[in-house]
Amino acid sequence: MSQQLANKDGCPRCGKNNLVTDNESGEVFCAKCGFVINEKVSDSGPERIFSDNTTNKSRTGDRTSLTRHDRGLSTIINPINKDSAGNPLSSSMKSTLKRLRVWDSRSLTNNSTDRNLQHALATLLKMKEKLSLSEAIVEKAAYIYRKALEKKLVRGRSISALIAASLYAACRESGTPRTIKEVSDAIDIRRGDLAASYRMLLQELELKMPVVDSVQCIARIASQIGLSEKTKRYAMKILKKAEQDQSSSGKDPMGLAASALYLAGLKLGEKISQKQVAVASGVTEVTIRNRCKGLKSLDT
């Protein structure tokens, strides 16, 4: 398709002001003598920006991601049965393209590794929604699982337990307060299976996990119960005293945070029971009573 352009200077060869632009080849030439004036015309149309219905936008197509089994690099055959000119295809060509699409989709998962990744990463995205996790944590979990798959640690083990263990390890590494029970409930597996897979990943991949700060767990527990900001600050004060006194060493951070909130609620007159705190934190009432014995001496 060509279109004429108005040019004050006209053709430099014949001087005629009858220039034509070929949109397919991008050439500007003279309609009188055929002289090519410009071999490439810059596109002045709107900028094409790819968006995947999230905040992620790209000018060069979809972004790559470890949460996809093909990392977002594969392509598909267009499902629209039309040629480049927009004309409908013949019935024989439609049948051929339909068969090609089937083989193309099958080729994306043509081996056991791809099928394993496809199943595991689909489960990972479901857990992300249930646990309200960020994209960075899910990317880290996918990276840990891919490392385990490369070392053939998946053989003879549950895919669900291993991907859940990878997600729990990513949460621990990033300092996100999520308990083993929460992760196991999100994927509906036994807590013991998840713990065993997590210990295996730590040993085989030599992961170094930071110690969880119990102060970070306070805001999460308090938001579920509906405690005031004053109670949260008082509980943080108790935990900081416990850290200085080194009485919190070796204790479960979630249990310490729950006990400090319970003591702070009693001190400031907020109506709160041990059962409420235990359910919100995922620990037992016995754990809260035992931790309160050590923290009471600091609450003076």
**Do 160 and 61 share a structural domain?**
yes
Max mean pLDDT among 38-52, 136-150, 242-256 falls in 136-150
Instruction: Tell me how many degrees the CA angle 194-260-282 measures, rounded to the nearest 5.
Output: 25
Question: Packing angle between helix 253-268 and helix 285-296, nearest 10 degrees?
Answer: 70
Instruction: Tell me how many degrees the CA angle 89-94-98 measures, rounded to the nearest 5.
Output: 145
Q: Enumerate residues 6+ apart whose C-beta is below 8 A from 169.
A: 141, 144, 198, 201, 202, 207, 209
Q: Any idea which of 130-139, 185-194, 211-220, 279-288 has the lowest mean pLDDT?
A: 211-220
In the chain, the percentage of residues whose pLDDT exceeds 90 is 11
In the chain, the percentage of residues whose pLDDT exceeds 70 is 79
Q: Enumerate residues 6+ apart whose C-beta is below 8 A from 201.
A: 144, 148, 153, 162, 165, 166, 169, 207
> What pLDDT, on a 0 to 100 scale, did the predictor assign at position 75?
66
Decide if 92 is inside a domain. no
**Do 233 and 204 share a structural domain?**
no
Decide if 165 is inside a domain. yes
- Residues linked to residue 162 through DSSP beta bridges, in sequence order: none
Kindly report whether the global pTM for this prediction surpasses the value 0.75. no
Q: Domain containing 241: what range?
A: 214-296
**Do 68 and 158 share a structural domain?**
yes
> What pLDDT, on a 0 to 100 scale, did the predictor assign at position 56?
54
**Do 283 and 206 share a structural domain?**
no
> What pLDDT, on a 0 to 100 scale, did the predictor assign at position 300?
56
d(CA 195, CA 180): 7
Q: Say yes or no to pLDDT of 8 above 70.
A: no
Decide if 31 is inside a domain. yes
Which of 170, 164, 162, 188 lies closest to 134, judged by CA? 170
How many domains are there within the chain?
A: 3
**Do 248 and 180 share a structural domain?**
no
Decide if 23 is inside a domain. yes
**Do 182 and 169 share a structural domain?**
yes
We report the CATH number of the domain holding residue 241 as 1.10.472.10
> What pLDDT, on a 0 to 100 scale, did the predictor assign at position 2?
44
Q: Any idea which of 7-21, 34-48, 155-169, 274-288 has the lowest mean pLDDT?
A: 34-48
> What pLDDT, on a 0 to 100 scale, did the predictor assign at position 1?
43
The whole-angstrom distance between residue 105's C-alpha and the CA centroid of its chain comes to 24
Average pLDDT, the chain: 79
Nearest-Å Rg of the Cα atoms of the chain is 31
pLDDT, one tens digit per residue, over 83-94 is 777 788 888 888
Decide if 91 is inside a domain. no
d(CA 248, CA 217): 14
d(CA 97, CA 103): 10
> What pLDDT, on a 0 to 100 scale, did the predictor assign at position 71?
62
Average pLDDT over every residue of 242-254: 77
pLDDT band for position 255 (cuts 50, 70, 90): confident
Name the domain boundary from 185, 210, 235: 210
> What pLDDT, on a 0 to 100 scale, did the predictor assign at position 4?
45
Decide if 43 is inside a domain. no
**Do 168 and 53 share a structural domain?**
yes
